[in-house]
Structure 1
């Protein structure tokens, strides 16, 4: 009995060892996601040339071919020989014109001749490399953006590409060059962000926040279809979505892309950068500075702050944990010491499931100190010079960053676990005077409730009727 496309995919997924999956961060596409991805292509009665880039079990190419006109063809590229065999078996069930290439995608020369390109590439981080394109080189930092760059290069004029990728490309410094290049090369047509990381690749133990991206080789269209909270359980056309212009999704010179329209209550605020606030990353990378770490306070040494030192809206020191709480005076020569004063610290890592994506705490240090690299710190200097905040500004900013409206803003901007300094600089922020007023109304504390934070901010900015 011939195996179905779904059976071929499921058996291939089950055969991948945890080591193989971890090595490539390769997640074989389940049928509901494949159907939604293929459904984003524009219907046509003419035959199309289909490319499945990194085809895995072949499910994406097979569903694409099954949904296309008679006479369509498929080229699939897969470097794993076992998976390449699966691809051939799947594709031949639905298409008579099939070519499966058992090589690395990066070893195959592709002409810009495909009407449809579909891919669910590996998500693995790589050292930054430049990929040559017809419009100049583009720097990529992850395999999935490298695959996507090749997919774009293989599109014919008017051709469409649908990719199943993490949402991390939409924000952050690492993907800045790729974002700008892609938006210059293509029209952004549709985005569908999956609301739960556990619904779409249930059998693959995936952690990234995943989305469907549709782009096309043409000038930017006026309306982009955005599905901000998609699920694989229901056809996309039956799910909540809106049509938006690209300009309304873009933020700043780095072309950060947001998923939804910004809350109207934030429209009157300038960005943190415009308010004269700068976000930097802690300078101490512990494994490169082991020689200056100390479990005990040292003469002429400095306190060392980690995320462990964040307690509610406050930063405390020292704390009982498995990390050294001090550095020796030799740290002065390592370019890691920050000047005494007031700051707002923000944890650089958080997940979608946490109560808050931005975890901020107020720090008032009377002595020079050191911040771990997994903390961001807000000051009023520049990228080259750290200048402490006015104390009231530091307090008010901590309360502001801990509000529900800011949390919702950040969730719309970032789909990765990293809380990037570049993203925070674009965050809407009250003026320094308003932050001082907020600090007077609600000084930060280690057990202040979320309700009290939000209610205080709502009253300060007259967002609710005060009884």
Structure 2
């Protein structure tokens, strides 16, 4: 039956237009992932299972769960399934998928073609005419992935029940947790973006206030979980236990949804969420070794301690089109994009790019410009093919000898000193530190998307200012650096 459902999934996915997928945030779960998720549930003593599948699609996840049940893998006497799916065009596929269990003793199915967020929020807020919803013992989810507008009806409904979040996927998880009975289990495949960053902080705190993290599975390849839909977001599968006791966390990894190289380890919870971390970032270690940055007393300074700032580049090009210049003009200054930074430094201006090379300096643009000087920049986005998440470069003012100021486009993060340039050695030292393998490995444990936010860079710890200057002096003297040279330089600091 799984192969039949897989054929339906592929056919339905191909026939649904990109616009509709975008509107609903709709991506279907493969048979192999569905089976893996069903197997993540821990067996318990409950005789009755009340299963929630919110955003059921064509029923792949419910089918995998029920298949495990009827095969004797779950010890329930009966299973009552509530399957929510707002896309009415999928209802016949969903009913067909689950129809084979209709003759199973103890199976009961309700398909709800309603808006899960509205129905669940109305019930949880005590709405007078709310649909009655049971306490679920299990929830299996592949929720929609789409931003929630700040003034939308969904955002208002969620706030009524104390849920503050920015995306449908995290809203579905939060509501499902709220509907679970104590010790109820939730297994969901969701983007990893909630693990860090300011926007998901309320959701992280909500999740950890109401549930224990029991198991996280990480796909090493960013685009393999939903490869048929060209999804580049890095995804994890997570198992949560409502009101559970937080203990060790299982971390499993695989390259893709074949699970051929599945690896499983257990970690203490303090390796996942650091006890002193008020932001409650969720780290997903993929090695039993503790990252060197966590161990070294020499790397304990905030950017404030070393008198450095980091900001997102302030020039948003589509908002200042009238001030942009394809090539430098007498009244303009350089406008730097990630494309200007190549392996060996900065190439500006570039003739063969679609982006402008300069921005006019005037009263309207002055507030966005920095004085010409030394800076360290980090690209905000990395492509899926790149091995490194953090890529730092030095801005050298000698590349722009006639420029009085510089513009940094919004896809760059800029290290500066109160919107002024850095000492040359410090700029090189920051870049060297950020380009170490240890920093990249550390960053990946809590950053699960292609974006490198200024907030994440602020949150990191750094060597002290004198050490960074020493790094910079060494880098300048050496000139061309290999990755081994960079990592060996940091290793000396660890061994001091």
Structure 2 length as normaliser, TM-score? Answer: 0.84
Question: CA 1:259/1:229 → structure 2, altered by over 3 Å: closer, same or farther?
Answer: farther
* Among 85, 105, 114, the residue aligned to 1:103: 114
**Contact 1:131-1:137 within 8 A present in 2 as well:** no
Q: Which deviations, in whole Å up to 9, do the C-alpha atoms of 1:117-161 show, x marking residues without a partner?
A: 111012123324645569963332222112222212211222111
Give the total of aligned pairs: 458
Distance in 2 between residues matched to 1:297 and 1:2, nearest whole Å: 60
Q: Tell me, yes or no, if the aligned pair for 1:92 and 1:98 is still in contact at 8 Å.
A: no
Task: Determine whether 1:92 maps to 2:114.
Answer: no
1:6 and 1:112, CA in 2 relative to 1: closer, same or farther beyond 3 A? Answer: same
1:254 to 259, 269, 279: 279
Report the more deviating stretch, 55-64 or 270-279: 270-279
1:322-333 to 2 correspondences below 5 Å: 322-330=354-362, 332-333=364-365
Q: Hey, what does 2:380 align to over in structure 1?
A: 348
Question: Taking structure 1 as reference, are residues 248 and 206 closer, same or farther at Cα in structure 2, changes over 3 Å only?
Answer: closer
Distance 2:165 2:477 in 1: 41
Counterpart of 1:61?
A: 62
Moved more, 303-312 or 255-264: 255-264
In structure 1, the partner of 2:128 is none
Corresponding position of 1:34: 34
Partners in 1 of 2:492 and 2:253 — Cα distance? 29
Does the 8 Å CA contact 1:6/1:31 hold for their aligned counterparts? Answer: yes
The residue number in structure 1 matching 2:129 is none
Runs of 5+ consecutive residues of structure 1 not aligned to the other structure? none
- Corresponding position of 2:20: 20
CA contact (8 A) 1:5 1:90 kept: yes
Q: CA deviation at 1:272?
A: 4.1
2:425 aligns with one of 392, 401, 417? 392
Paired position in structure 1 for 2:370: 338
Separation in structure 2 between the aligned mates of residue 423 and residue 194 of structure 1, nearest angstrom: 22
For structure 2, the residue ranges without an aligned partner over 5 or more in a row are 70-75, 124-132, 398-402
| Alpha-carbon distance between aligned partners in 1 of 2:246 and 2:278, rounded to the nearest angstrom | 21
Partner residue, 1:70: 77
Q: How far did residue 3 of structure 1 move?
A: 8.7
What SS is found at the alignment partner of 2:58?
coil
- Whether the 8 Å contact between 1:313 and 1:444 is mirrored in structure 2 is no
Task: Flag the 1:188–1:432 CA change in 2: closer, same or farther, 3 A.
Answer: same
Call closer, same or farther: CA 1:351–1:66 in 2, change over 3 Å: same
User: CA distance change for structure 1 residues 220 and 303 in 2, over 3 Å: closer, same or farther?
Assistant: farther
Equivalent in 134, 145, 157 of residue 182 of structure 2:
157
For the structure 1 residues 180 and 453, does the alpha-carbon distance in structure 2 shift closer, same or farther, using more than 3 Å as the test? same
Alignment correspondent of 1:364 = 396
Question: 1:94 offset after TM fit, Å?
Answer: 2.5
State which drifts further: 160-169 or 274-283: 274-283
Give the match for residue 264 of structure 1. Answer: 292
- In structure 1, the residue corresponding to 2:356 is in which secondary structure? coil
1:183 aligns with 2:208: yes
Q: CA deviation at 1:167?
A: 0.8
SS at match of 2:48: coil
Q: CA 1:411/1:36 → structure 2, altered by over 3 Å: closer, same or farther?
A: same
| 1:428 aligned partner | 461
Query: In structure 2, do the counterparts of structure 1 residues 453 and 104 end up closer, same or farther at CA, with 3 Å as the change threshold?
Result: same
Closer, same or farther in 2 for the Cα pair 1:158/1:462, shift >3 Å? closer
Aligned to 2:445, the other structure's residue is in SS state: helix
C-alpha contact 2:51 2:81 (8 A) present in aligned 1: yes
Q: Equivalents in 1 of 2:410, 2:365: separation in Å?
A: 17
Matched position secondary structure for 1:82 = helix
Q: What is the Cα deviation at residue 290 of structure 1?
A: 0.9
**CA distance in structure 2 between the partners assigned to 1:339 and 1:139 by the alignment:** 39
CA spacing shift, 1:325–1:272, aligned 2, 3 Å: farther
Q: Cα distance 1:248–1:77, how it changes in 2: closer, same or farther (>3 A)?
A: closer
SS in 2 for 1:448: coil
- Aligned equivalent of 1:214: 239
Question: Hey, what's the Cα distance between the residues in 2 that align with 1:183 and 1:334?
Answer: 44
CA separation of 1:141 and 1:331: change in aligned 2, threshold 3 A: farther
CA distance in 1, matches of 2:280, 2:150: 19
TM-score (norm 1): 0.89
1:209-261 deviations in Å (ceiling 9; x for gaps): 1110111210441211122446433489x632223214653374322211116
Superposition deviation, residue 457 in structure 1: 3.0
CA deviations on 1:45-68 (whole Å, 9 max, x unpaired) are 512100100000111122223334
CA–CA distance in structure 1, aligned partners of residues 279 and 376 of structure 2: 24
The reply on whether 1:243 has 2:267 as its aligned counterpart is: yes
Secondary structure at the aligned position of 1:179 is classed as helix
Equivalent residues of 2:50, 2:135 under 8 A apart: yes
User: How far apart, in 1, do the equivalents of 2:340 and 2:437 lie?
Assistant: 23
3-state SS of 1:317 partner: coil
Please say if residues 185 and 240 of structure 2, whose CA atoms lie closer than 8 Å, have aligned partners that are also in contact: yes
Q: 1:198 to 1:290 in 2, by over 3 A?
A: closer
1:333 positional shift: 4.8
Aligned partner of residue 188 in structure 1, secondary structure = strand
